[in-house]
Amino acid sequence: MLNIALAISIVVLVRATQSPWPAIGLVFLSKWRVFGVRPRYWFVNIQSNLVDFIVSISLAVFLYSIYSGSPTSGEVAVAVILMLLYIGWLLYIKPRSKRSFVVAQAGIALFTGTAALYMYSYALPASVVVLIMWLIGYSTARHALSSYSEETHVLFMSQVWGLLMAELGWLAFHWTVAYPLLGSIGLLVPRFALTVLCIGFVTLKAYDSYHHNQKIRGNDIIMPLLFAFGIIIVLPLVLNLLGFSVALGI
């Protein structure tokens, strides 16, 4: 009930104040247990909860993009759908510890965090965007790799993935496109969010193949690679050839 109340309260706060900050403050307040231990455990707890922070803050940003103007009935419906998805996140996805769910949690955070960031990246300095992309990359990689209990280089590989995301984030800061979600004028989803999700999916499949076979087998990554290539490059080109107005970018 408290999780459902949190989701509803975030929507109400954004709608009433037309600002994401009170809702973000409520998210931090709901995480009081992170700091309800001795200070030496704070850093560990913060890292463990970064993925949930990213998803929750992204929701506030999405809702703000809808309610900052004069939302149509369709946009209000999108806000309700986002609230229901967030409730599903809190009740069903976030509490699970099975590897498939942990990986899904990291993927959701990577997509939503990147989308929320690049919806308003134009109003931020490039250095801030790159730093936040590093944090998103680091936290999601650490979360996914933590499901492999035998892995001893989680910190190093998470930092490397964060560096890769930061570099891609700098490129996307100068060259990215976005599309309206379900006809919403305010809620524009950057293609870059889908791009990094596809790259992360292929990278995880390659790592999983190496983890189980001590080498990356072509059969394990060929289909994920073709899928990602099709989503990132081929699909926009095909849509343009078919006459749809699809901007080229990342």
Whether 244 shows a pLDDT value over 70: the answer reads no
Compute the average pLDDT of residues 204-214. 89
**Per residue in 151-204, pLDDT tens?**
788 999 999 999 999 999 999 998 888 777 665 666 778 889 989 999 999 999
Alpha-carbon distances, residue 101 vs 44, 49, 171, 191, 235 (angstroms): 21, 15, 30, 24, 28
Confidence at 58, pLDDT banded by 50, 70, 90: very high
For 33-54, what is the mean pLDDT? 86
What pLDDT shows up at residue 243?
54
Q: Which tops the pLDDT comparison, 32 or 9?
A: 9
3 phi, psi to nearest 5 deg: -65, -45
Q: Are 51 and 147 in contact (CB under 8 A)?
A: no
Q: Is the pLDDT reported for residue 13 higher than 80?
A: yes
For residues 76 and 82, give the distance between their C-alpha atoms in angstroms, rounded to a whole number.
10
**Do the beta carbons of residue 134 and residue 165 sit within 8 Å?**
yes
